[in-house]
Amino acid sequence: MEVVLVGACIFYLSALLWYLTGFKKLDTEFKTNKFPPPSVSVIIAARNEESNILTCLNSLLVPENKKLITEIIVVDDFSTDQTFKLITELSIQNPIIIPIQTQNFPHYSGIKSPKKRAIQCALSVAKGDWIAFTDADCLVPRTWVSVFTQAVSNSSQLIAGPVEFFRKGSFLSSWQHLEFAGLMVVAGGSSGHNQPSTINGANLWIRKSAFSAVDGFSGIDHLISGDDELLMHKIHSMFKDGIQYLPTREALVLTHAQPDWTSLFNQRKRWASKGFHYQSGRYKVFLSLFWFIHVLFLVMPVFAFFNLVTWGFIGFILLLKFAGDAFFLSTSNSFLNQKINPFSVLWFGWIQIPYLVFTGFMGTFSRFDWKGVRY
């Protein structure tokens, strides 16, 4: 059993190192281009976002962003609050904003995923060569549009950027910050190796012709999640050098952390629900191994109870894991200009083990709630 656990630890640390080296590549390989800026349509899907939507739209309407945007299409997805009213009122003062409602596009009613359906409705009227996606509860920086448009090259088909939380200081928000910081390195690192694995739809640009070339959400439109990652994998399968990641704070989008553990688990179960639907068989094997390794970490005390390993050996394995976590998270926190607390790495390393095992299992085999609907 010791050999198995050592092998699992080596695999885990090797995966972290692979992502880190890929993320470092982005610092040297990223180049801005000299091409004229493309036409850009921003798409935002919104359901019951009356408390957030104006903040999001106003961040897009600052002069630095607005001058480079062709249109902002906001899709109201059956809201029961004042979301659509607020969007419509703001559009009167800013004709660049185009409010539409999902129910006015019945020909897309067969798309099971609400967000994919809303995006498809917006894309059917979008005029831009590039489609920029963010979420209704997000805040984009003043440099958002300029940085992304500068990064567009002839080979670019999809460009993703980092996402971070508004900081609130609670234990739950701190946990989510560390998790997202790690996911940022995973997204950038895998792209740096030209084997993109994950992205965040809150900060995503896609060439409209690439969306059409892969037949959009066809084949994945029945899945509630995956409007970002699964679409990226489809595009990467056709355009091998078409995926980019922007390793710059000038492209950093801010969003809200989940307010409680129930909301957090529901969101993560929704994300994990697409695990068996990635196109790449190799990536599915990797995810399965990564999950199984955390199962081994979780049941190590059982091995010690039956004298299959010693408690000292378990401590050694965990020490190696925590050291790898600390090095990994220090890179992401350095990018975010955040100092990492050594104690936070310890509790992150402990909690991550059952958390990852639970969300991976429940996301695959249980239901979840999203926007008031159970799936």
Tell me the per-residue pLDDT of 31-85, one tens digit each, with 9 for 90 and over. Answer: 555 566 789 999 999 999 999 999 999 999 999 999 999 999 999 999 999 999 9
Give the pLDDT score at 178. 83
* Number of domains the chain is built from: 2
Compute the Cα dihedral for 195, 199, 203, 205 and give only its sign: positive
Angle at 211 between CA 210 and CA 216, to 5 degrees: 145
Q: Are residues 198 and 221 in the same domain?
A: yes
Domain housing 179: 30-261
Over residues 313-369, the pLDDT tens digits come to 988 998 899 889 888 888 777 776 666 666 777 777 778 888 888 887 776 666 656
Give mean pLDDT, residues 204-233: 87
Q: Are residues 244 and 136 in the same domain?
A: yes
Amino acid sitting at position 43: I
Q: Are residues 212 and 337 in the same domain?
A: no
Give the pLDDT score at 83. 94
Is residue 170 pLDDT above 70, yes or no? yes
Q: Are residues 182 and 244 in the same domain?
A: yes
Max CA distance (Å), the chain: 72
Q: Are residues 247 and 312 in the same domain?
A: no
Q: Are residues 217 and 165 in the same domain?
A: yes
Whether 272 is in a domain gets the answer no
Whether 170 is in a domain gets the answer yes
Q: What pTM did the predictor assign? A: 0.87
The encoded tokens of residue 235 equal 């595009």
Find the DSSP H helices in the chain: 2-29, 53-60, 63-66, 83-93, 114-123, 144-151, 171-192, 208-213, 229-238, 261-272, 281-298, 300-305, 311-335, 342-365
